[in-house]
Chains A and B, each alone.
Chain A
Amino acid sequence: MTIAGALPTDEVIAVRGLTKRFGDKTVVDNVDLNVKRGEIVGFLGPNGSGKTTTIRLICGLLHADAGEGTALGHDIRTESGLIKMQTGYMTQRFSFYEDLTIRENLDFVARLYDLKPRKDYVDRTLERLGLTNRQNQLAGNLSGGWKQRLALAACVMHEPKLLLLDEPTAGVDPKARREFWDEIHALADEGLTVLVSTHYMDEAERCHRIVYIAYGTIVARGTVKDVVADSGLKTWVIHGDGSGKLMAELRNLPGVEQVAPFGTDIHVVGTEGGALETGVTQVAKERGLKAEHGETSLEDVFIKLMTDAQANEQ
């Protein structure tokens, strides 16, 4: 319709009211999502919250039951062919050919996108992602980290403008994850727009912005700082005793929402206000333990969002 014209050109993803049902279950419910050029947006939410479905709706792998919008200025309902040409989609499960070598997989992708000269594209991509030495290994024999690298290589080779990554670092070791994110940032610096779904909080913190989805509905969005501030949560840390008994006692205090052990420390998270502070300091004093203000983490906020959403759903 007129969306493409009405929005500023730097809106790479602009969708409104996106809805998808499987049978009588609404998996994505009235989702609005905007992503600007060069942004890295983290897409978070519990398992089965609709992250993968939303991503698939944007790149045309699923038909939306309702809603409209554009990706790269093309209508997601009618122009998925054009969107596919300029989008790199990395699936949650490794979905390249395990009985082909790294190089053969990239050759296959290069041919599909009609990249010429093909050898140059493949060589450059192998080089960029450090795959040159392994190019003749079968993809099926690679470890998780290398598979992920191959998948990233394959979806950036055709120089897309939009990258959709669906839990790209699941099952990958920390070093490989860090390298992966460095690469994502380098690509974003070159103007690539990235929408990435993840479960890892440290990864969420590396995004410019985050969007939190639960039960198919977006429940929070903004920078990490904003989301933490908007939650209205306060955190106290009690040092020196991580026992279950103390945790049980803390849970019963007024205003306490979450109690979590961190080694010999206990993090107590609750809604802002006097009740939390009085309760926690009181308990700590009784036991001769030290209690102090802590920083509320994104994880604490997400657990609250998840619990709240669950309560709404039931």
Chain B
Amino acid sequence: MRAFSLSRVGAILMKELIQMRRDRLTFAMMVGIPIIQLILFGFAINTDPKHLPAAAVIEDTSRFGRSVFAAMQNSRYFDFIATADSENQAKEMLARGDVSFVVTVPTDFGRDLIRGIRPELLLEADATDPAAASGAVGAINQIVSSGLAHDLRGPLETLKQDRPPVDVVVHRLYNPEIITQYNIVPGLLGVVLTMTTILMTAMALTRELERGTMENLLAMPARPVEIMIGKIVPYIGLGFIQVFVILAAAWTIFTVPMLGSLSLLLFALLVFIAANVTLGYTFSTLARTQMQAMQMTFFFFLPSILLSGFMFPFRGMPVWAQWIGEVLPLTHFLRIVRGIVLKGNGLADIVPELWAIAAFWAGVSLVALLRYRRTLD
């Protein structure tokens, strides 16, 4: 027997090629995944988001105020979608995540400007995701100065010299020190749960199929919904063990603040984990093998991580990508967890996001029950 035989290598190689050709799904994914990902993520991801929603609080109606808003709008960083009647109302909009910025033009802004007292212009930014706000915050001084340049002519020309005519005050709310961990660690809670819980339950039925125990299970009197509940509940428990580990680490190692209610967070986690394990179970009713179930999980996980607002600012994505993102439970969970942990949001603030996750949950449950094969046909 020779130490190395090309013929033996060839035998293995040919066998692998034949098996590869038979496994159409894997082959399709090997070719399809790169194309889809290039197109999807290549166009969707934008690390310098423009058109972030902003609210205006207008306490001074001079033309200077209008010029500032016009300049901000023209810069394309800000999209003024609402005018708040009061500072409180604007804060609520920030807390709910309706807007990313609140711009306040204070009383006597125009008068003080003309007098050369350098009035303050207040920019409050939602800094739960520091990356999302950084572009706009970085550009704000330049935007305001050039916006007023047109108005400051003739006798007012002198106001432009030396110092900027307006003192722009930036408040980074919820995360004033711009600590990235405050944003990433609560987000990781959702990412880790998405990955592990889906993967675990995606194996639920395919494992029975591959080990041959499915035939027996079908021959015994168990209903699809009974099997589904029995299969996913243990993994909800497992998910909560992960929750406690991550939360403990978040508070002790990363010293992430906790402004909201823990029990509200746990309740939201229950809905989120339940939606994920059910999705995994749904994958297992669609897949024929454990390998396919893993591929499906991976296929779902990538957009979850890239389009949910975890890695890149959600509002930086084009609208179509945001729509995809809105379907994903992780997107809504990130808003919930950042809201509760960093903003101190209450139940009323997170209800819309909870509903979105619950709707997703109901949808995948339905698919699972419809797709469950009661027979071996």
Residues of A participating in the B interface, judged by any CB pair closer than 8 Å = 56, 59-63, 81, 84-85, 87, 89, 91, 93-98, 109, 112-113
Beta-carbon contact of B211 and A59 below 8 Å: no
Which of B212-220, B257-265, B354-362 touches A? B212-220
Q: Is the CB of A62 within 8 A of B377?
A: yes
In the bound complex, do residue B211 and residue A98 qualify as a contact, i.e. CB atoms below 8 Å apart? Answer: yes
Q: In the assembled complex, which residues on chain A have CB atoms less than 8 Å from the CB atom of B220?
A: 84, 109, 112-113
Complex alpha-carbon distance, A89 and B376, angstroms? 14
A97 to B208 Cα, complex, angstroms: 9
Contact present for B219 and A94 (CB under 8 Å): no
Interface residues of B (CB under 8 A from A): 211-216, 218-222, 375-377
Interface secondary structure of A, over-half rule: loop
Q: Distance in Å from the Cβ of B214 to the closest Cβ of chain A?
A: 8
From A81, A85, A91, A112, give the contact of B212 (CB < 8 A): A91
In whole Å, how far is B219's beta carbon from the nearest beta carbon of chain A? 4
Docked-complex contact A95 and B221, CB < 8 angstroms:
no
For the complex, give the distance between the alpha carbons of A98 and B375 in Å. 23
Q: Contact: B213 with A61, CB < 8 Å?
A: no
How far is B214's CA from A89's CA once the two chains are assembled, in angstroms?
Answer: 13
| Residue from B211, B212, B222, B376 in contact with A61 in the complex, judged by beta carbons closer than 8 Å | B376
23 contacts between A and B (CB under 8 A): A60-B375, A61-B215, A61-B218, A61-B219, A61-B376, A62-B376, A63-B375, A81-B221, A84-B219, A89-B219, A91-B216, A91-B219, A94-B212, A95-B212, A95-B214, A95-B215, A95-B216, A96-B213, A96-B216, A97-B213, A98-B211, A113-B220, A113-B221
Q: Report the separation of the CA atoms of residues A81 and B27 in the bound assembly, to the nearest whole angstrom.
A: 39
In the complex, A56 Cα to B216 Cα: how many Å? 11
Interface of B is mostly: loop
A165 to chain B, nearest CB (A): 12
Return chain A residues, CB-CB under 8 Å to B212.
Answer: 91, 93-95
A63 CA to B218 CA in the complex, in Å?
13
CB proximity of A113 to chain B, nearest CB, Å: 7
- Give the docked Cα–Cα distance between A89 and B377 (Å): 17
| Smallest CB separation, B234 vs chain A (Å) | 14
In the complex, chain B residues whose CB is within 8 Å of the CB of A96: 213, 216
Task: Report chain A residues within 8 Å CB of B216.
Answer: 89, 91, 95-96
Q: CA separation between A85 and B214, bound complex, in Å?
A: 17
Complex CA distance for A93 and B8, rounded to whole angstroms: 33
Give A98 to B216 CA distance when docked, in angstroms: 13
Task: Select which of A59, A98, A112 is within 8 A of B222 by beta carbon.
Answer: A112
**Best-buried of B215, B216, B220, B376 by chain A (most CB within 10 Å):** B216
Q: Separation in Å of the B222 CB from the closest CB of chain A?
A: 6
Residues of B within 8 A of A81 (CB): 221
Given A93-B215, A95-B216, 9 further pairs, Cβ under 8 A: A62-B377, A63-B377, A89-B216, A89-B219, A91-B212, A91-B219, A94-B212, A95-B215, A96-B213
Q: Are A95 and B375 in contact (CB under 8 A)?
A: no
A residues near B218, Cβ cutoff 8 Å: 61
Chain B, Cβ-Cβ closest to A98:
B211
Inter-chain contacts of A89 with B (CB < 8 A): 216, 219
Residues of A within 8 A of B215 (CB): 61, 91, 93, 95
